[in-house]
Chain A
Amino acid sequence: MDEKKYAKLEQSITPKPPILKNVIKAFLVGGTICLIAQFIALFYMTFFNFTERTASNPTVATMIFISMLLTGFGLYKKIGQLGGAGASVPITGFGNAVVSAAIEHKSEGYVLGVGGNIFKLAGSVILYGVFSAFLVALVKTILVKLGVVSW
């Protein structure tokens, strides 16, 4: 049996991911996380001196704090299993990636273990976020200078 024939056999037996079910779960879990964040934003706007715009920073920080607790108590991986991308795409998933790597590697010490591995999963997101921000800003600035677009 060659590789192509085997791939065919393998694909006929391996179960396909239940896409519709996964998509619905991702929608509900992701939407719920954003909804909870909206209540937290409302809290900051009502009780502290924040506007709709400036409330975003403390809201994100609060969500990551909640994510830390859920990760530490072993619950975020259950949300992840249920929600898929609904749990990884929100900023809580970013927090989970950082926190899970940090607690995983504490056995190798706080410098080599936690320090060296805390961005093991989240590092690529930071890299591409910063680099794409640089590129987009550069391109847009050049286009503005050339008079193609305006700010």
Chain B
Amino acid sequence: MVMKGLLTFPSTPSIAATGVTAGPLEKKSPFHVNFDKMFDDERCGMKTNEQGHAKLMEDAIMIALSKVDKVPSDADFLLAGDLVNQMTPSNFSATTVGIPYIGLFSACATSVSSILLAALLTESGMSKLAVAGSSSQHNAIERQFRYPIEYGTQKGDTSQWTVTAAGAAAITPYQEGVPCIERGTFGKAVDMGMTDPLNMGAAMAPAAADTLMRHLSGHNASASDYDLIMTGDLSKVGFSIFKKMVGNQGIKDFQNFSDAGEEYYGGLPEFKAGASGAGCSASIYFSEIYKKMMEKEYKRVLLIATGALLSPLSYQQGDTIPCIAHAVELTMK
């Protein structure tokens, strides 16, 4: 029995299908060809940004369910979260689909914490079909955490662009021919005293390094066992720091390492350090990575979603930024 936040799933619950939705600007992402639905309007045809945010999540859930020929009333659990105050977009999408709902907050790491909890519910036999996911909508998140959208402030090279995207995964007991969840690690909240909300990558990197090292040592694995180790949204700056930190702890080869945030927009300079947001990791994990696992290009991957657990209030009061990273190990048999 492995513990201290380390999880193993002997029955290997499967990710039977995924659904990914995104906004108009995400067409600039080289990954957009694998997204299921792209909206031409950032509010997704709704009146407010927050309603559009809920619509993104709702459509991602419906797409994931439709791929396994199910309707919401067939599902046992919905585990979802986002970054808006009290997670109202996820709450509203849960109201619309009507699946028994557990709202989760791990900031941008919710994509993985929701999968881990759905896998636990499946493992325990309490769930035959659970939907896990997370989402973010650029305008809704920026106005809450930073400035009004149209405010003319200069973004530095460390700042990240919150994506408009949602990802959902349908998790079932073991099935053949789809990726399954073998192991996982819940992260600790790590705070290294960073205070700059425009340099989140640097704040989150220690959490990601901590979770990676705990996962590898706790499960007796080594970094080279994986075809891919992908962090969530550390982006350029945070990912460099992360590699340096785990490099100091004995990992030498970074060929199989990548970061969803850094690659999200293909390195376009107007997005600065890269992407962030709860929808960033979810939309890459559940499209690009899932597809490559289905094609057996990747047989074993480790996904480490990272999240900064700050609020606008906490940083205005001068508090540091605590961060978290959760890891899930997917295999394709």
Point out residues on A near B: beta carbons under 8 Å. Answer: 1, 3, 6-7, 9-10, 13-15, 17, 22, 71-72, 74, 76-81, 83-85, 87-88, 93, 96-97, 99-101, 103-105, 107, 120-121
In this complex, the member of A15, A22, A79, A105 whose beta carbon has the largest number of chain B beta carbons within 10 angstroms is A15
B50 to chain A: closest residue by CB: A107
Contact A80 B193 (CB under 8 A): no
For this complex, 12 residue pairs linking A to B, each with C-beta atoms less than 8 Å apart, are A6-B206, A14-B241, A74-B150, A76-B152, A77-B151, A85-B154, A87-B154, A96-B150, A100-B150, A107-B50, A120-B148, A121-B151
Q: Which of B154, B202, B237 interacts with A81 by CB under 8 Å?
A: B154
Chain B residues bordering chain A, tally (CB within 8 A): 29
Q: Which of B148, B152, B157 interacts with A104 by CB under 8 Å?
A: B148
Q: Which of B154, B158, B193 interacts with A84 by CB under 8 Å?
A: B154
Q: Which of A1, A3, A93, A99 interacts with B245 by CB under 8 Å?
A: A1
Q: With both chains docked as a complex, state the minimum distance between the C-beta of B332 and any C-beta of chain A, in angstroms.
A: 34
Q: Which of A1, A81, A99 interacts with B206 by CB under 8 Å?
A: A1
- Kindly state whether residue B49 has any CB partner on chain A within 8 Å: yes
A116 to B153 Cα, complex, angstroms? 22
Q: With both chains docked as a complex, state the minimum distance between the C-beta of A150 and any C-beta of chain B, in angstroms.
A: 42
Contact B48 A107 (CB under 8 A): yes
Point out residues on B near A: beta carbons under 8 Å. Answer: 47-50, 143, 147-158, 192-194, 199, 202, 205-206, 237, 240-241, 244-245
Beyond A1-B206, A14-B199, A81-B155, whether A104 also contacts B150 by CB under 8 A is yes
In this complex, the member of B148, B156, B192, B244 whose beta carbon has the largest number of chain A beta carbons within 10 angstroms is B148
A80 to B150 Cα, complex, angstroms? 10
Beyond A9-B241, A9-B244, A10-B202, whether A80 also contacts B151 by CB under 8 A is yes
Beyond A17-B156, A17-B157, whether A100 also contacts B244 by CB under 8 A is no
